[in-house]
Amino acid sequence: MLRRLIAAAALALPLPALAEGEVVYWPLVTDGTEYRRIAYPPQAGGLVVLADTTVVFDVRRADVNYWPITREHLSDVTRGSPVVAGTLEIVDEAGTVTGIVPEAYLLWYPEGVGAGQAEVVRGERAAQVYESYLAAARAAADALRDHQRLVAEHHAAVEAWLKIAATRPAQLPPPPPEFTIPEPEPYNAFATAPEAAPIVSLRPGRYTIRLRDPAGGLVPGTERHLTAFAPLTRGTGFVIRPGDRWTQPVISFSPEATVYATGRTDLYLQPVPVAKYVARDFTRLFRPQSHDVVDPFLTLWVPELSGVDPAADISLTLWNGTEQVGTRALAPFRVTQTTGRSLGYVIEEFRPGGGTLAPDFTAIKLDRGTALTRVALAGGGQLPDSERHIREVVPAAGWALFVPALLPLFLALNVKAVARRRRQSALKLAGAPGGAAPGVVRGKQG
């Protein structure tokens, strides 16, 4: 009976609303570092894009379900979802209507997916880039296959010679020459297949977007608000790599931040162009239904799309109070693992030798023990707001880490000493000779 009541109550509960075939905007947007597809069902509200960047608008029909755990409306939109055909219209704040006709585009990764900046290639150049990509990828695959064939042939020749040598012939032929053909460089670039969609780059402001069908009528459910936001200001951030833990850098993007150093290790400062955004807009760029950031005055600093050119003529000016104590130039560095018992590494300035080696990072080195109070970049003013104040701090001694572990032992010894003193005081107050307890008689036996 109880199970029937529970089942009836469950059936009576309201279920999340399910909408089939709703209009979902699926634009390809960037945050200045990477491109992503972001779904905007009708419940997500207006669209948010980064101003002055290439945005690819895609309109599809897909099922939308409400997910109460994250309080989001999730769209089941994929490449196979039906496309809503029509002409995209963008209306600015002055009421000017601009029609965007679909054009060919592709996403181009010159250094490989996840390894560098991506570029939206549009128009006739998209087909040219894709054909060049296919030709280069096929050539790289053929070169790798030929190299593997040569390696296999050399191994076979060596094995054949070893079999002859095992028979100890009277005249042993010379062994095959050493294989010295290097492996071809891998081809990491990648390009998506060309597609057609409305593409636009918007100035900062508020817009209205909508879709009109071939007959000129407004497609229901396609009219949305759109916000294109821009950085509030720009500056220079630093990725700070301590010499004793170079794989765990410290980020200092805000120009108002202070750099704290111990003076016991070298510091490697890698300058990075950064931009300051309203946190609410920047968060909604990739998470349009986010409920985390609600303060409209909260801001954040993020790295820009284009980094600092490693070959740029940039130097760091060093100050100790009001006295300039020197300058340091931007240089490439490479990390070399040490051999033997002393497991560790050495960071040395990288000097090209014509091989395939490349630097691990490019930065400006600050030697340990240098008395500094602030630093600032110099080099024609390409990187503004680069000044950083430096504060030297003294880390706690290593033995101090064990003090909390010894604290229970100290407390136990203290409690035992206090109990002993109290017992002795009680015996003295009892008035017994020599501090003996009452009722105890001292004397000789017999």
195-204 pLDDT, tens digit per residue, is: 999 999 999 9
Confidence band for 7, pLDDT divided at 50, 70 and 90: very low
Same domain, 32 and 78: yes
Mean pLDDT, range 295-317, rounded to an integer: 78
Model confidence pLDDT, tens digit, residues 48-73: 999 999 999 999 999 999 999 888 89
Question: Which residues form the domain of 215?
Answer: 20-102+198-229
Confidence band for 439, pLDDT divided at 50, 70 and 90: very low
Q: Which residue has the tokens 């050399």?
A: 154
Confidence band for 306, pLDDT divided at 50, 70 and 90: low
Q: Is residue 420 domain-resident? A: yes
Mean pLDDT, range 181-208, rounded to an integer: 92
Q: Is residue 202 domain-resident? A: yes
pLDDT for residue 446: 43
Q: Is residue 423 domain-resident? A: yes
Q: CA–CA separation, 244 vs 137, rounded Å?
A: 41
Q: CA–CA separation, 74 vs 19, rounded Å?
A: 11
Same domain, 379 and 330: yes
Q: CA–CA separation, 32 vs 423, rounded Å?
A: 75
Confidence band for 311, pLDDT divided at 50, 70 and 90: low
Same domain, 27 and 69: yes
Same domain, 407 and 344: no
Confidence band for 136, pLDDT divided at 50, 70 and 90: very high
Same domain, 263 and 407: no
**pLDDT higher at 372 or 312:** 372
pLDDT cut 90: percent of the chain above it: 34
Domain boundary among 376, 395, 414: 395
pLDDT at 440 over 70: no
pLDDT for residue 19: 41
Q: Is residue 109 domain-resident? A: no
Q: Is residue 331 domain-resident? A: yes
Mean pLDDT, range 276-281, rounded to an integer: 91
Q: Is residue 11 domain-resident? A: no
Q: Which residues, including other chains, have CB under 8 Å from residue 406's CB and lie 6 or more apart?
A: none
Tokens read off for 354: 């014509």
Q: Is residue 139 domain-resident? A: no
Same domain, 350 and 225: no
Mean pLDDT, range 177-196, rounded to an integer: 90
Same domain, 225 and 79: yes
* Chain mean pLDDT for the chain: 83
- Dihedral (Cα; 402, 407, 408, 414), 10-degree rounding: 140
pLDDT for residue 396: 61
Confidence band for 379, pLDDT divided at 50, 70 and 90: low
Q: Is residue 5 domain-resident? A: no
Number of domains in the chain: 3
Confidence band for 425, pLDDT divided at 50, 70 and 90: confident
Same domain, 407 and 317: no
In a 10 Å sphere around its CB, with 0-12 CB exposed, 13-18 middle and 19+ buried, how is residue 323 labelled? exposed
Q: CA–CA separation, 363 vs 436, rounded Å?
A: 79
CA distances from 208 to 44, 93, 144, 196, 220 (A): 15, 8, 51, 22, 14
Q: CA–CA separation, 47 vs 206, rounded Å?
A: 10
Same domain, 423 and 360: no
pLDDT at 380 over 70: no
Same domain, 238 and 223: no
Confidence band for 5, pLDDT divided at 50, 70 and 90: very low
First and final C-alpha spacing in the chain: 90
Same domain, 264 and 413: no
pLDDT for residue 431: 61
Which range, of 241-245, 316-320, 351-355, averages the lowest pLDDT? Answer: 351-355
Which range, of 78-87, 360-369, 426-435, averages the lowest pLDDT? Answer: 426-435
pLDDT at 442 over 70: no
pLDDT for residue 12: 41
**pLDDT higher at 432 or 98:** 98
Same domain, 341 and 418: no
**pLDDT higher at 4 or 131:** 131
**Quick one: three-class SS letters along the chain?**
CHHHHHHHHHHHCCCCCEEEEEEEECCEEECCCCEEECCECHHHCCEEEECCCCEECCEEEEEEEEECCCCEEEECCCCCCCECCCEEEEECCCCCEEEECCEEEEEEECCCCCCCCCEEEECHHHHHHHHHHHHHHHHHHHHHHHHHHHHHHHHHHHHHHHHHHHCCCCCCCCCCCCCCCCCCCCCCCEECCCEEECEECCCCEEEEEEEECCCCCECCCCCEEEEEECCCEEEEEEEEEECCCCCCCEEECCCCCEEEECCCCCEEEEEEEEEEEEHHHHHHHHCCCCCCCCCCCCEEEEECCCCCCCCCCCEEEEEECCEEEEEEECEEEEEEECCCCCCCEEEEECCCCCCCCCCCEEEEEECCCCCCCEEEEECCCCCCCCCEEEEECCCCCHHHHHHHHHHHHHHHHHHHHHHHHHHHHHHHHCCCHHHCCCCCCCCCCC
pLDDT for residue 129: 94
Confidence band for 154, pLDDT divided at 50, 70 and 90: very high
How many C-beta atoms lie closer than 10 Å to residue 44's C-beta?
A: 21
Domain boundary among 370, 395, 420: 395
